[in-house]
Amino acid sequence: MTPQRILTGITPSGTPHLGNYAGAIRPAVEASQRPGVESFYFLSDYHALIKTANPERVQRSTLEIAATWLAAGLRPERAWFYRQSDVPEITELAWLLACVTGKGLLNRAHAYKAAVDKNLAEAEEPDAGVTMGLFMYPVLMAADILMFNAHKVPVGRDQVQHLEMARDIAASFNHRYGEYFVLPEAAVDESVATLPGLDGQKMSKSYDNIIPLFASRNMLKKLVFGVVTDSKAPGEPKETEGSALFQLFQAFATPAETETMRARFTEGIAWGEAKEALFQKLESVIAPMRVRYEELIAEPARIEQVLKSGAAALRAKYAAPFIARLREATGLRKLDQLPVIPADSRAKPKAQAKPQFKQYREADGLFYFKLVDGDGRLCLQSRGFASAREAGQAVAGIKNNEGYSQWGVPAPGASEVDIRQAIDALRAD
Ligand code: TRP
């Protein structure tokens, strides 16, 4: 049985925060330790260029995030761990996919639409400040995923639409060229998918409300004491629902600890006490990782080595052979595979024949048709029909894109792709 392939990317455009850890890194590291799972975790540094124009920040963030994953327990011998830009086949695939992706599909992407809406609200041109990088973001992300035919993609809720687009794009490619891609699925862990930040909104670098995962002990304490609460006095019962403090606690505590905390909320725990408890909980989880992190970050060359060797092995095993197949599928082929045409026949070129449906009657009295391609090669052979009219209707159905398998079978040596191409060529005129 092929192992289930799990893949996720993390964009190195900022400092890893608690939300990244609980929502992505921790579940990913756990998954990589399960038997029967092949994991792919990578730094999506090309995606970072869409979010920041600061080269030092991209580099620094790449170092920090790589060190974070290793400190969080990812073992490079148990999971593919690499940097997107070290696998050039991914950007090559992004182009192949762009050529089967409708512009209209990308027009509907939330991130792009949000940029347009903001421009309109500010009486700007709709596309002001929108780069093709932002617009193509979902295509590059689809390439990340489809390159390795991942089955499951753990992401935050905000990325679910991108996964739907990756499926659409994969299906378009498969329809045109044959079944090359697995249709990936988003895996959203509802319990931890989004953590609140200091202000109670989703923790995100864009809201400037993050708690860095490896803030110093003192800084962590300071930040935790700055998390918003309501103004209920000590002794007054507190709501757990909608409490940022409670949600943060829950994301790091065991279910039993969470229940105890819930009871303390009902009993009217003072906010100061709740904050102290959250700080202690976080510190107990983070402190051992922080030590490993500091060691790793002090040796960037070691991390570079880990990333480079991950990418090299991955390219050799998957990316290079797969992109070779995809190039072949799309017609980016070597010319020396073509037959040699004698010089005199080149002088008077034959008009390129069109594919054709040929209808005929056999000795068995039944009516048949076959599809031959432009070179006269048989692609599809029909079954027998009782009347010429029925055979004609089947031909019309095929031209109308209703498929062919209810009416005929591929000729020996003809592939699904040959048949598709012949039908498409017929439909084109
Ligand atoms: N877009 C993701 C984010 O910003 C990062 C990402 C890039 C990704 N490529 C991916 C996630 C492929 C999953 C799969 O969070």
Burial class of 351 by CB neighbour count within 10 A (0 to 12, 13 to 18, 19+): exposed
d(CA 41, CA 65): 11
Question: Does residue 336 fall inside a structural domain?
Answer: no
| 165 and 252 housed in the same domain | no
Beta bridge partners of 359: 369
| 288 and 305 housed in the same domain | no
Per-residue pLDDT band for 346 (boundaries 50, 70, 90) equals low
| 166 and 315 housed in the same domain | yes
Report the nearest atom of ligand 1 relative to the CA of 156.
15
- CATH number of domain containing 40: 3.40.50.620
| 36 and 165 housed in the same domain | yes
Count the neighbouring beta carbons within 10 Å of the beta carbon of residue 111: 16
Mutate to test the pocket of ligand 1, among 8, 137, 202 (most ligand atoms within 8 A of CB): 8
Q: What is the mean pLDDT of the chain?
A: 92
| 19 and 134 housed in the same domain | yes
Residues of the chain with pLDDT > 90, as a percent, come to 78
Binding-site residues, ligand 1, Cβ < 6 A:
7-9, 11, 44, 47, 141, 144-145, 153, 155, 159
Most confident of 13-27, 158-172, 405-419: 158-172
d(CA 89, CA 149): 14
Could you tell me which residue, 64 or 205, shows the higher pLDDT? 64
Which residue from 351, 348, 420 is spatially nearest to 380, judged by alpha carbons?
Answer: 420
| 95 and 113 housed in the same domain | yes
Q: Mean of the pLDDT values across residues 397-409? A: 87
Q: Which domain holds residue 98?
A: 4-190+300-330
Question: Does residue 45 fall inside a structural domain?
Answer: yes
Q: Hey, whose CA ends up nearest to atom 7 of ligand 1?
A: 9
d(CA 236, CA 213): 31
> In the chain, how many domains are there?
3
Report the nearest atom of ligand 1 relative to the CA of 24.
15
| 76 and 150 housed in the same domain | yes
| 175 and 239 housed in the same domain | no
> pLDDT tens for residues 109-156?
999 999 999 999 999 999 999 999 999 999 999 999 999 999 999 888
